Structure 1
Amino acid sequence: MKKLFIHIFTVVTLISFTQCEKVLDKRDLTAIPEQAVWNDIALATAYVNQLYVDNMPTWPTNASGDSDESGGGGAYMLGQLTIDGVDYWPYNQIRNINVLLKNLGSGSLTKSQQDPLKGQALFLRAWQYFQLVSRYGGVPLVLEPQEITADLLVSRSKTSECIAQIIKDLDESASLLPVKWDNIDAGRITKGAVLAFKARVLLHYASEQFNPTQLPERWTTAYAATKAAKEALEAAGHALFADFGKLWYTEGNANPEIILVTRFINPGRTHNRDACTRPLDEAQNCTGANYPTISMVEAFPMKNGLSIKDPNSGYDATAFWLNRDPRFAATVAYNGSLWELSGKTGRTQWTFLGSQQTGNTNTGFYCRKAIFEGYKPNETELSGTDWIEIRFAEVLMNFAEAANEIGNPAEALEVLKAIRKRAGIEAGANGLYGLKANMSKTEMRQAILLERQIEFAFEGKRSADMRRRRLYESELNGTKRKGYQINLIAFNGSKNDFFDAFAKGTVDLNKNYTTYFRNDVRDLDLTQSINFKPEYYFFAIPRTHLEKNANLKQTNGWDGGSFDPLQ
Structure 2
Amino acid sequence: MKTNIIKVFGLGLIASMTITSCSDDFLEEKKNYDNVNTGIYDTEEGCLRRVYDVYSWCLPTVNSDPTWQYPSTGSNDTQAKSTEEYSGFGAFVDPQNPLSVMSGTSVPDYFFGTPNNIQNNAWGRIRNINDAIEGISGGALSQEKKDEYLGQLYFFRAWCYYNLVKYYGGVPIVTEVQDPVEGVVNPRRSAKACIDFILSDLDQSAKMLADKTMNGGWSSDEWGMVTTGTALALKGRVLLLWASPLFNRANDETRWKNAYTQMKAELDSINSCGYGLFTSTNNVNGSDFALQFNQSDKNPEAVFVTLYNTVQAGDGQKNSNWERYIRPKNTTGSGKNASAMLVDMFPMADGKRPASADTYTKLEASSMTYDREHPFMNRDPRFYRTFAFPGFRWAYNGNSSVQEADPNNPLYDDGKNYELWNYVWYTDLDDQGDPESGNDYGADNLLTNCSGVYVRKRSDDYDVNTNSMYTFTGTASNGGFAYSAQPYIELRYAEVLLNLAEVACGAGELTDAVSYLKQVRARAGYTGENNYGLQSNLESDQAACMSAILYERQIEFAYEGKRFDDLRRWMLYDGGATKVEGAPSTWTLTGWGGNTCTWLGFKQLNGQRRENMEFRVADKYGVGGTTADSDPLLKNGGTRCAAVDLRKELNPQLETLKTWYSDNLVRKDKKGDSYDQNKVKLYMNFLPRYYFLGLTQGAQNNNKALEQTIGWEDSQHGGSAGTFDPLADE
Alpha-carbon distance in 2 for matches of 1:531, 1:147: 44
Q: Which has the higher helix share?
A: 1
Asked if 1:76 is matched to 2:92, the reply is yes
**Cα 1:546/1:359, change in 2 over 3 Å:** farther
**Cα 1:360/1:204, change in 2 over 3 Å:** farther
Match of 1:432 in 2: 531
CA contact (8 A) 1:6 1:32 kept: no
CA contact (8 A) 1:302 1:323 kept: yes
**Cα 1:452/1:37, change in 2 over 3 Å:** same
Match of 1:263 in 2: 307
Candidates 109, 119, 127, aligned match of 1:87: 109
1:86 alignment partner AA? P
- Please, what TM-score do these two structures have when normalized by structure 2? 0.71
CA contact (8 A) 1:363 1:483 kept: no
CA contact (8 A) 1:273 1:381 kept: no
Match of 2:341 in 1: 295
Tell me by how many angstroms 1:503 deviates: 4.6
Alpha-carbon distance in 2 for matches of 1:129, 1:463: 18
**Cα 1:311/1:183, change in 2 over 3 Å:** closer
**Cα 1:124/1:67, change in 2 over 3 Å:** same
Candidates 239, 243, 263, aligned match of 1:202: 239
Candidates 18, 21, 25, aligned match of 2:27: 18
1:184 alignment partner AA? D
What's the RMSD between the two structures over aligned residues? 2.7
Candidates 589, 613, 621, aligned match of 1:491: 621
Using the TM superposition, name which of 555-564 and 518-527 deviates more. 518-527
Tell me by how many angstroms 1:64 deviates: 2.4
**Cα 1:415/1:58, change in 2 over 3 Å:** same
Match of 1:222 in 2: 259
Match of 1:478 in 2: 607
Tell me by how many angstroms 1:18 deviates: 3.5
**Cα 1:482/1:504, change in 2 over 3 Å:** closer
Asked if 1:278 is matched to 2:439, the reply is no
Work out the percentage of aligned pairs sharing the same amino acid: 31
Alpha-carbon distance in 1 for matches of 2:366, 2:247: 39
Match of 2:37 in 1: 34
Tell me by how many angstroms 1:113 deviates: 1.8
Asked if 1:370 is matched to 2:458, the reply is yes
Alpha-carbon distance in 2 for matches of 1:318, 1:519: 6
1:348 alignment partner AA? E
Alpha-carbon distance in 1 for matches of 2:239, 2:700: 29
How many equivalent pairs are there?
552
Alpha-carbon distance in 1 for matches of 2:191, 2:551: 29
CA contact (8 A) 2:276 2:493 kept: yes
Candidates 435, 442, 454, aligned match of 1:355: 442
Tell me by how many angstroms 1:38 deviates: 0.7
Using the TM superposition, name which of 437-446 and 363-372 deviates more. 363-372
5 Å-filtered alignment, 1:407-486, equals 407-428=508-529, 431-439=530-538, 440-474=541-575, 475-486=604-615
Candidates 489, 497, 517, aligned match of 1:388: 489
**Cα 1:164/1:31, change in 2 over 3 Å:** closer
**Cα 1:129/1:488, change in 2 over 3 Å:** same
CA contact (8 A) 2:41 2:47 kept: yes
Alpha-carbon distance in 2 for matches of 1:23, 1:508: 52
Asked if 1:564 is matched to 2:725, the reply is yes
5 Å-filtered alignment, 1:505-516, equals 508-516=656-664
> Could you give the per-residue CA deviations for residues 328-366 of structure 1, whole angstroms, max 9, x where no partner exists?
111100122221244523322123231244555776211
Match of 1:55 in 2: 58
**Cα 1:380/1:369, change in 2 over 3 Å:** same
Tell me by how many angstroms 1:3 deviates: 9.7
Tell me by how many angstroms 1:522 deviates: 2.4
Match of 2:229 in 1: 192
Tell me by how many angstroms 1:117 deviates: 1.0
Alpha-carbon distance in 2 for matches of 1:201, 1:385: 27
Tell me by how many angstroms 1:54 deviates: 0.8
Tell me by how many angstroms 1:151 deviates: 4.1
Using the TM superposition, name which of 118-127 and 322-331 deviates more. 322-331
Tell me by how many angstroms 1:155 deviates: 0.9
1:502 alignment partner AA? T
Match of 2:639 in 1: 502
Task: Specify the SS of the correspondent of 2:91.
Answer: helix
> Could you give the per-residue CA deviations for residues 356-390 of structure 1, whole angstroms, max 9, x where no partner exists?
44555776211111122455342424322111111
**Cα 1:229/1:503, change in 2 over 3 Å:** same
Query: Is there any run of 5+ residues in structure 1 with no aligned partner, and where?
Result: none
